[in-house]
């Protein structure tokens, strides 16, 4: 999609291309982030760019542990925190530490497209548990997916691509389910969008509700610094032998080639990582986009967080409909890549003007799709066949 966007911009001009394919924040980092960077690079912190222990600078880990303890009410220590190369690095680090060949990891579909690769990278097998039409989890489907080989359950809330938030009741039900298992199962909670929740929704603290929980997160979205690749693992101190898991993740952090999270950005998040961008503009764009699409006839669950919409495509063939949009200069991602066909993901990391100017193209594509459907119905209608 990235290359296709470049091709279209070269052909039509950038102003005639509406790229909703990538979750790449269009806003700049807050000034307090830039101020922290200037402070560190100006040399006010000696040895700021030196080698550090594989899990990260001890002072940084301690600062982040204190924040996690405050948020969860649990006795987090520095040894429970591993600084990583983004949330993707965090997930690979913990999966490498946990999985033996053939172990299974359950994910709730739709889910981030790279989860399967992450699990298979380390000899595991991804098992998909479907969610409801509103993308909320079926606890019963999770229960059905658990086998003696289940090692972990991977959840993502607010969710990419749907924007739904999993409620505390689901987490409590999941905890009760996992307590019934003969073999310990850990929950890996992928939380890079935690700070991006709309309408005053409070995101439940996963580690308050789940005993064996590991949080993987980053500051890519919350501070608008995705290219800096700074993230962390927070291993719950309630996990039995949490210190051994921390040691294992410290090892895998290095042997996977990530080596260390970027030194400069470790110091930055220690200072300002508890802040976040202003979400009001994203909420306003959510309202504009969702209302515009649903008014013209698209069906879409209203996102509660993150910065994506995941509407149904008017054609069952989501790839085919994305091709129709492409003819209008609109780039979207087929939902089948996220494990839910008949949908498409639209990223709101664009200007308000881009959304407004794209809406006529969405309407034209919808009309063409309906025309195709009607034509197909006429061709297939038995009452119109000649005997």
Write the pLDDT tens digit of every residue in 75-120.
Answer: 999 999 999 999 999 999 999 999 999 999 999 999 999 999 999 9
The answer to whether 349 touches 307, Cβ cutoff 8 Å, is: yes
For residue 380, what pLDDT is reported? Answer: 39
Residue 142 clears pLDDT 90, i.e. is over it = yes
pLDDT at 387 over 60: no
Give the residue range(s) of CATH 3.90.1150.10 domains in the chain: 2-27+278-377
DSSP per-residue codes, 162-216: T-----HHHHHHHHHHHHT-SS--EEEEE-TTTT-B-TTPPPP-HHHH-SSEEEE
Helix (H, G, I), strand (E, B) or coil at 125: strand
Residues 191-243 pLDDT 10s:
999 999 999 999 999 999 999 999 999 999 999 999 999 999 999 999 999 99
**Residue closest to 301 by CA, chosen among 111, 165, 149:** 165
Q: Could you tell me the end-to-end alpha-carbon distance of the chain, in angstroms, rounded to an integer? A: 47
Report, as an integer, the average pLDDT of 173-183: 96
Nearest CA among 84, 382, 118 for reference residue 260: 84
- Residue 376's pLDDT is what? 63
State pLDDT tens for residues 346-379.
999 999 999 999 999 999 999 999 998 877 644 3
Checking if the pLDDT of 123 tops 80, the result is yes
Region of poorest pLDDT, from 50-54, 116-120, 135-139: 50-54
User: Is cis: bond before 140, omega within 30 of 0?
Assistant: no
Supply 46's token pair.
Answer: 């000696």
Distance, CA of 229 to CA of 203 (rounded, Å): 24
3-class DSSP state of 55: coil
10: Cβ–Cβ under 8 A, 6 or more apart, which residues?
Answer: none
Q: How confident is the model at residue 49 (pLDDT cuts 50, 70, 90)?
A: confident
b/e map 154-187, b = 16+ CB within 10 Å: bbbbbbbbbbbbbbeebbebbeebbeeeeeebbb
pLDDT digits (tens, 9 = 90+) for 3-12: 777 777 788 8
CB proximity list for 174: less than 8 A, separation 6 or greater: 139, 142, 153, 187, 209, 210
Domain made up of 50-272: CATH architecture: 3-Layer(aba) Sandwich (3.40)
Q: Is the pLDDT of residue 287 over 50?
A: yes
CATH 3.40.50.300 fits 2-27+278-377, yes or no: no
For the chain, residues classed under CATH 3.40.640.10 are 50-272
Taking the C-alpha atoms of residue 259 and residue 253, their distance in angstroms, rounded to an integer, is: 6
Q: Going by DSSP bridges, is the β-strand pair 231-235/213-218 parallel, antiparallel, or unpaired?
A: antiparallel
Residue pLDDT, tens place only, 293-341: 999 999 999 999 999 999 999 999 999 999 999 999 999 999 999 999 9
Residue with token string 């689901």: 170
284 in helix, strand or coil? helix
Q: How far apart are CA 18 and CA 16, in angstroms?
A: 7
Q: What is the DSSP letter of 313?
A: P
What is the mean predicted confidence (pLDDT) over 5-27? 84
Instruction: Tell me what the mean pLDDT of segment 42-55 comes to.
Output: 85
- Residue 12's pLDDT is 81
Q: Mean pLDDT of all residues in the chain?
A: 93
For residue 304, what are its two tokens?
A: 């509660």
Structure tokens at 21: 């394919």
């Amino acid at each position: 999609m990235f290359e296709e966007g470049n091709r279209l911009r070269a052909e039509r001009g950038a102003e005639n291309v509406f790229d909703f394919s990538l979750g790449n924040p269009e806003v700049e980092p807050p000034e307090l982030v830039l101020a922290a960077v200037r402070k560190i690079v100006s040399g006010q912190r000696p040895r700021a760019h030196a080698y550090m222990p594989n899990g990260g600078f001890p002072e940084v880990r301690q600062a982040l542990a204190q924040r996690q303890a405050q948020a969860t009410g649990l006795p987090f220590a520095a040894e429970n925190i591993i600084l990583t190369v983004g949330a993707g690095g965090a997930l690979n680090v913990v999966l490498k530490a946990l999985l033996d060949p053939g172990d299974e990891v359950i994910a709730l579909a739709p889910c981030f497209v790279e989860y399967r690769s992450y699990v298979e990278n380390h000899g595991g097998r991804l098992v998909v548990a479907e969610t409801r039409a509103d993308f909320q989890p079926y606890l019963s489907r999770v229960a059905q997916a658990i086998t003696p080989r289940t090692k972990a359950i991977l959840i993502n809330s607010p969710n990419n691509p749907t924007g739904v938030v999993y409620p505390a009741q689901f987490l409590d039900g999941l905890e009760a389910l996992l307590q019934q298992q003969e073999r310990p199962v850990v929950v890996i909670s992928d939380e890079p969008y935690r700070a991006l929740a709309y309408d005053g929704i409070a995101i439940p603290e996963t580690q308050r509700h789940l005993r064996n929980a590991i949080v993987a997160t980053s500051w890519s979205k919350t501070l608008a610094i995705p290219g800096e690749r700074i993230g962390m693992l927070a291993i719950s101190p309630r996990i039995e032998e949490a210190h051994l898991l921390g040691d294992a993740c410290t090892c895998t952090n290095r042997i996977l080639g990530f080596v260390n999270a970027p030194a400069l950005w470790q110091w930055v998040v220690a200072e300002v990582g508890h802040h976040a961008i202003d979400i009001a503009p994203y909420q306003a764009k959510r309202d504009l986009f969702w209302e515009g699409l649903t008014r013209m006839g698209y069906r879409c669950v209203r996102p509660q967080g993150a910065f994506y919409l995941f509407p149904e495509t008017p054609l069952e063939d989501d790839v085919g409909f994305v091709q129709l949009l492409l003819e209008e200069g609109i780039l979207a991602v087929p939902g089948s890549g996220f494990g839910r066909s008949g949908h498409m993901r639209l990223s709101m990391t664009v200007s308000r003007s881009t959304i407004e100017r794209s809406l006529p193209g969405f309407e034209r594509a919808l009309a063409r799709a309906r025309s195709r459907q009607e034509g197909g119905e006429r061709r297939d209608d038995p009452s119109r066949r000649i005997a």
